[in-house]
């Protein structure tokens, strides 16, 4: 029997008792549908997280934090002895220990690191609209996060100009009718120095940002040079220079793949911690993947249950078609071919179930994602809850076909073993 | 003397074991020659069907040998035996065993489908054979919609489609009224006459048995009377042809390419050792040659 005839015969046999096949296929569809949705959900959320985190910087950057214990912080191991070497320069900021200028130099001196930028926080007081109204600002967005910011209009601030982006929610307060109108407005940033003297810096709105879940784009974000000017003023006013302290530094690494581990090791020796983007991403994605797999597990259980439906359907079919099987064997069909025919029927059921289930799953995922992202969750920029992953879908289809084939082996073996004489006996 | 198309030696079939042991065949030795028509008769339970199943390679004997074209088949793998059945045999059963939901044409071409013949050729050959049995107008009908006689014709068409050398029929008219039986018998014996197809018919029906050239009577698993055996023993080798009416008729218009060649001259097969893989292939090749050779001789005749 040729393969095309086996497939055709299997198809017409499965269509013979339509209701029974339909019910069996429905069970497979439910499993396939669920698996398509859960794995697509995992892929979608992971995609969003990747997009969000990759916005924080280049993938060849290393984020360096201090790893030295903070004096006075409850460690549970008793008090830490005071050591002017490690604790002297690094003032603590919000309970975390910080990096000093010395640390920055240490980082810069490590082989393979081409550049280090300390991350600084600028606390502006207000933003003045063109009409003179002033609006309170907590902290400004960091220019190093610029890549993570999604824009509703305009462009990101050019690094060496006095430009700034404002969040979309500020557009109306600034007196602009739309995000596009807000681009080009002249605003002023008010900031206090160390002794509380206010100063205003002029800036032009270069773009309107959307707030992402990470927080990026949720506050006015100055250009790099404006940020430097503001930071300098913020720290001025004291007679003596206060030692600088930074919560984090961003180090550019020439070849992260080759040197990453060694550089991290050296940082650890200097009481610092280096994290790559992947390290940060990995932690989040680890959690997402774990949740996804738990959900996938439920879908797999549904598929397992459905596979017993296939066993049951085919056993009935073999029973009913005893004579037909006997006839085919008498007419020269070998046991192996009979086995092939009945496993093809199982695979055919699996194929119908997976095509329908995966199709419904993808449609539901895409439409549901669209409805949520443009509806209740529309404030979350760049959010995706469902992603179509063709390779994943192919794997799901193959998995279902494999399960169906396995489920078909028991009935197919029974059919293959039928004795034509027994099967064709009359009297 | 040509090699018998089928022969058995000391064929034994035992069902069950211990107290439920039943000796259905108790050592049968017989030869069936190409082009013969053989009736196997006897009381119910005498072992007729059992013998036919063994001859048709549907079952394996407990002991003894079945040889096809002089080659023992007991050493063949099941798949090779299946292929042999598919190529060399046609079956007609008392019950029709048609697939009710399928069309007549699909039912008739099932053996070709199993043999792996492409669809278009199946269709052509199926319509050919249905035409010979005057059933071509019903080709697309569902098998279920036919009368008993028509169904049996479809079964005969199915048995013929692979151009078999032997047709086995177990009570082929057992389910038919006498008029229809007559028609079906005429078809079977017509094929036998015109194409030299060997017929092995299990029957209760004395009229049907009487139309066969040879009658094997069975009783309790033994052959108690074989009229051909006496004939063969008495006659010179050439006389083996004698019981058969002249069958060198030209091909009938209906059958076209087929012609009857009852006893193609064939070299006697050498003593058959256990079949190696190569020999098995040769056996199959020979089956092909036998068919084309038969056609070739028909043309010469
Ligand atoms: N599978 C089997 N198991 C046990 N006994 C069997 C089996 N097949 C046939 N028989 C017995 O073998 C004997 C011969 O059967 P069978 O060849 O069918 O007889 P017939 O066709 O002449 O009526 C019967 O007595 C039957 O009961
Ligand atoms: Mg019988």
Q: What are the chain A neighbours of B101 within 8 Å (beta carbons)?
A: 16
3-class DSSP state for residue B20? helix
Ligand 1 within 6 A of CB of B280: no
ipTM (interface pTM) = 0.76
3-class DSSP state for residue A330? helix
> Could you read off the pLDDT of A94-130 as tens digits, one per residue?
455 788 888 888 888 888 888 887 887 788 889 998 8
Alpha-carbon distances, residue A222 vs A91, A208, B5, B62, B100 (angstroms) = 26, 12, 100, 96, 82
Ligand 1 within 6 A of CB of B50: yes
pLDDT on residue B179: 86
Measure in Å the smallest separation between the Cα of A334 and chain B Cα atoms: 5
Mutate to test the pocket of ligand 1, among B24, B58, B171 (most ligand atoms within 8 A of CB): B24
Partner-chain contact A9 B113, CB within 8 Å: yes
Centre of ligand 2 from the C-alpha of residue A424, in Å: 11
Mutate to test the interface with B, among A332, A339, A425 (most CBs of B within 10 A): A332
pLDDT on residue A51: 75
DSSP string, B55-124: HTTSS--SEEEEEETTEE-TTS-HHHHHHHHHHHEEEE-SS----TTSBHHHHHTHHHHHHT--HHHHHH
Query: In the structure encoding, which two tokens stand for residue A233, read together?
Result: 């003023």
pLDDT on residue A281: 74
Q: Which of A16-25, A199-208, A239-248, B75-84 has the weakest average pLDDT? A: A239-248
Partner-chain contact B110 A334, CB within 8 Å: no
Tell me the percentage of chain A whose pLDDT exceeds 90.
Answer: 37
Domains defined for chain B, CATH in brackets? 4-300 (3.40.50.300)
Measure in Å the smallest separation between the Cα of B33 and chain A Cα atoms: 22
In sequence order, the β-bridge partners of residue A272 are: A66
B44: closest chain A residue by CA = A427
Residue A331 gets which letter from DSSP? T
What whole-number distance in Å separates Cα of residue B145 and Cα of residue B96? 13
Centre of ligand 2 from the C-alpha of residue B62, in Å: 19
Of the candidates A5, A332, A424, the beta carbon closest to that of B82 is on: A332
- Ligand nearest the Cα atom of residue B218: 1
Q: Please check the confidence at residue A359 and state whether its pLDDT lies above 60.
A: yes
What is the domain partition of chain A in residue ranges?
A: 3-54+282-425, 60-120+244-275, 121-241
Tell which CATH classification among 3.40.50.300, 3.30.70.100, 3.60.20.10, 3.40.50.1220 matches the domain A60-120+244-275: 3.30.70.100
Question: Half-sphere exposure of residue B291, counting CA atoms within 13 Å on the CB side?
Answer: 15
Centre of ligand 2 from the C-alpha of residue B286, in Å: 32
Q: Between the CA atoms of A126, A130, A131 and A133, what dihedral angle is there, to the nearest 10 degrees?
A: -10
Chain mean pLDDT for chain B: 80
Partner-chain contact B86 A324, CB within 8 Å: no
Partner-chain contact B97 A332, CB within 8 Å: no
B58: closest chain A residue by CA = A330
Query: In the structure encoding, which two tokens stand for residue B170, read together?
Result: 């177990």
Q: Please check the confidence at residue A266 and state whether its pLDDT lies above 80.
A: yes
- The residues of chain B scoring below 70 in pLDDT are 1, 228-301
What whole-number distance in Å separates Cα of residue B194 and Cα of residue B132? 12
Q: What are the chain A neighbours of B95 within 8 Å (beta carbons)?
A: 424, 426
Partner-chain contact A426 B86, CB within 8 Å: no
Taking a C-beta distance cutoff of 8 angstroms, is the pair B275, B72 a contact?
yes
- Of A174, A166, A207, A203, the residue nearest A187 (C-alpha): A203
Ligand 1 within 6 A of CB of B16: yes
Query: In the structure encoding, which two tokens stand for residue A151, read together?
Result: 């824009």
Q: What are the chain A neighbours of B114 within 8 Å (beta carbons)?
A: 1, 328, 331-333, 337
Helix (H) / strand (E) containing B198:
strand B198-202
pLDDT on residue A80: 60
Alpha-carbon distances, residue A266 vs A60, A111, A174, A349, B174 (angstroms) = 17, 9, 49, 59, 96
pLDDT on residue B131: 92
Chain mean pLDDT for chain A: 85
What whole-number distance in Å separates Cα of residue A203 and Cα of residue A163? 5
Q: What are the chain A neighbours of B119 within 8 Å (beta carbons)?
A: 5
State if pTM tops 0.80.
Answer: no
Q: What are the chain B neighbours of A331 within 8 Å (beta carbons)?
A: 85-86, 91, 110-111, 114, 158
pLDDT on residue B159: 93
Partner-chain contact B78 A334, CB within 8 Å: yes
Range among A43-57, A264-278, A304-318, A382-396 rated most confident: A304-318
Q: What are the chain B neighbours of A6 within 8 Å (beta carbons)?
A: none
Residue A57 gets which letter from DSSP? S
What whole-number distance in Å separates Cα of residue A60 and Cα of residue B208? 94
Which atom of ligand 1 is closest in space to residue B42's alpha carbon? 22
Q: Which residue has the higher pLDDT, A282 or B127?
A: B127
Ligand 1 within 6 A of CB of B43: no
Q: Which residue has the higher pLDDT, B286 or A155?
A: A155
Centre of ligand 2 from the C-alpha of residue B202, in Å: 7
Per-residue confidence band for A397, with pLDDT thresholds at 50, 70 and 90: very high
Ligand 1 within 6 A of CB of B250: no
pLDDT on residue B233: 43
Taking a C-beta distance cutoff of 8 angstroms, is the pair B5, B30 a contact?
no
Of the candidates B86, B101, B158, the beta carbon closest to that of A332 is on: B86
Residue ranges of alpha helices (H) inside chain B are 48-55, 78-88, 104-108, 110-115, 119-132, 148-160, 178-195, 206-211, 227-234, 277-300
> Could you read off the pLDDT of A22-77 as tens digits, one per residue?
999 999 999 999 999 999 998 898 888 877 766 655 567 788 888 765 544 455 55
What whole-number distance in Å separates Cα of residue A342 and Cα of residue A1? 13
Mutate to test the pocket of ligand 1, among B15, B56, B205 (most ligand atoms within 8 A of CB): B15
């Amino acid at each position: 029997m040729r393969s095309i005839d086996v497939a055709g015969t299997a198809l017409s046999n499965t269509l013979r008792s339509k209701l029974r096949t339909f019910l069996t296929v429905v069970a497979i569809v439910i499993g396939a549908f669920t698996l398509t949705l859960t794995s697509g959900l995992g892929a979608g959320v992971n995609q969003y997280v990747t997009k969000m985190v990759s916005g924080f910087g280049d993938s060849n950057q290393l984020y360096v934090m201090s790893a030295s214990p903070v004096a006075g912080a409850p460690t549970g191991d008793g008090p830490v002895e005071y050591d002017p070497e490690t604790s002297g320069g690094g003032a603590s900021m919000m309970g975390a220990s910080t990096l000093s200028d010395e640390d920055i130099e240490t980082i810069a001196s490590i082989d393979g690191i081409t550049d280090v930028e300390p991350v600084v926080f600028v606390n502006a007081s207000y933003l003045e609209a063109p009409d003179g109204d002033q609006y309170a600002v907590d902290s400004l967005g960091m220019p190093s996060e610029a890549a993570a910011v999604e824009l509703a209009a305009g462009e990101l601030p050019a690094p060496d100009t006095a430009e700034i982006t404002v969040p979309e929610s500020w557009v109306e307060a600034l007196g602009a009718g739309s995000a596009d109108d807000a681009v080009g407005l002249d605003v002023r940033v008010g900031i206090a120095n160390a002794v509380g003297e206010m100063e205003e810096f002029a800036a032009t709105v270069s773009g309107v940002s959307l707030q992402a879940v990470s927080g990026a784009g949720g506050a006015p974000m100055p250009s790099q040079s404006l940020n430097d000017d503001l930071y300098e003023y913020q720290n001025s006013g004291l007679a003596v220079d206060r030692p600088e302290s930074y919560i984090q530094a961003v180090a550019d690494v020439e070849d992260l793949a080759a040197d990453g581990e060694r550089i991290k090791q050296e940082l650890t020796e200097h009481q610092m911690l280096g994290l790559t983007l992947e390290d940060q991403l990995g932690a989040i994605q680890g959690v997402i993947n774990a949740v996804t797999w738990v959900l996938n597990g439920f879908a797999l259980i549904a598929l397992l249950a459905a596979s017993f439906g296939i066993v049951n359907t085919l056993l009935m079919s073999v029973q009913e078609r005893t004579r037909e099987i006997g006839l085919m064997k008498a007419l020269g069909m070998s046991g192996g071919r009979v086995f092939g025919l009945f496993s093809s029927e199982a695979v055919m059921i699996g194929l119908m179930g997976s095509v329908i289930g995966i199709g419904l799953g993808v449609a539901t995922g895409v439409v549901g994602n669209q409805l949520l992202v443009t509806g209740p969750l529309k404030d979350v920029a760049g959010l995706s809850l469902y992603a179509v992953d063709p390779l994943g879908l192919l794997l799901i289809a193959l998995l279902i076909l494999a399960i169906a084939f396995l489920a078909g082996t028991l009935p197919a073996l029974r059919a293959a073993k039928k004795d034509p004489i027994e099967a064709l006996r009359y009297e | 003397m040509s090699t018998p198309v089928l022969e058995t030696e000391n064929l034994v079939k035992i069902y069950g074991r211990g107290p439920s042991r039943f000796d259905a065949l108790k050592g049968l030795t017989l030869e069936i020659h190409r082009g013969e028509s053989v009736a196997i008769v006897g009381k119910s339970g005498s072992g007729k069907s059992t013998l036919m199943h063994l001859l048709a390679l549907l079952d394996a004997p407990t002991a003894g040998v079945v040889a096809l074209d002089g080659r023992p088949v007991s050493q063949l793998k099941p798949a090779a035996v299946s292929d042999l059945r598919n190529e060399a045999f046609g079956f007609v059963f008392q019950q029709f065993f048609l697939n009710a939901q399928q069309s007549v044409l699909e039912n008739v071409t099932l053996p070709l489908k199993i043999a792996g013949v492409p669809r278009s050729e199946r269709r052509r050959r199926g319509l050919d054979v249905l035409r010979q049995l005057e059933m071509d107008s019903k080709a697309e009908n569902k098998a279920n919609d036919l009368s008993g006689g028509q169904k049996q014709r479809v079964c005969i068409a199915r048995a013929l489609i692979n151009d078999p050398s032997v047709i086995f029929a177990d009570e082929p008219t057992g389910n038919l009224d006498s008029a229809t039986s007559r028609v079906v018998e005429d078809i079977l014996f017509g094929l036998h006459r015109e194409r030299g197809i060997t017929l092995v018919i299990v029957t209760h029906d004395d009229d049907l048995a009487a139309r066969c050239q040879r009658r094997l009577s069975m009783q309790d698993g033994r052959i108690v009377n074989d009229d051909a055996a006496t004939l063969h023993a008495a006659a010179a080798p050439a006389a083996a042809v004698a019981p058969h009416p002249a069958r060198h008729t030209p091909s009938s218009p209906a059958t076209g390419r087929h012609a009857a060649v009852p006893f193609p001259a064939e070299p006697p097969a050498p003593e058959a050792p256990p079949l190696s893989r190569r020999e098995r292939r040769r056996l199959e090749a020979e089956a092909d040659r036998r068919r084309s050779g038969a056609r070739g001789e028909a043309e010469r005749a």
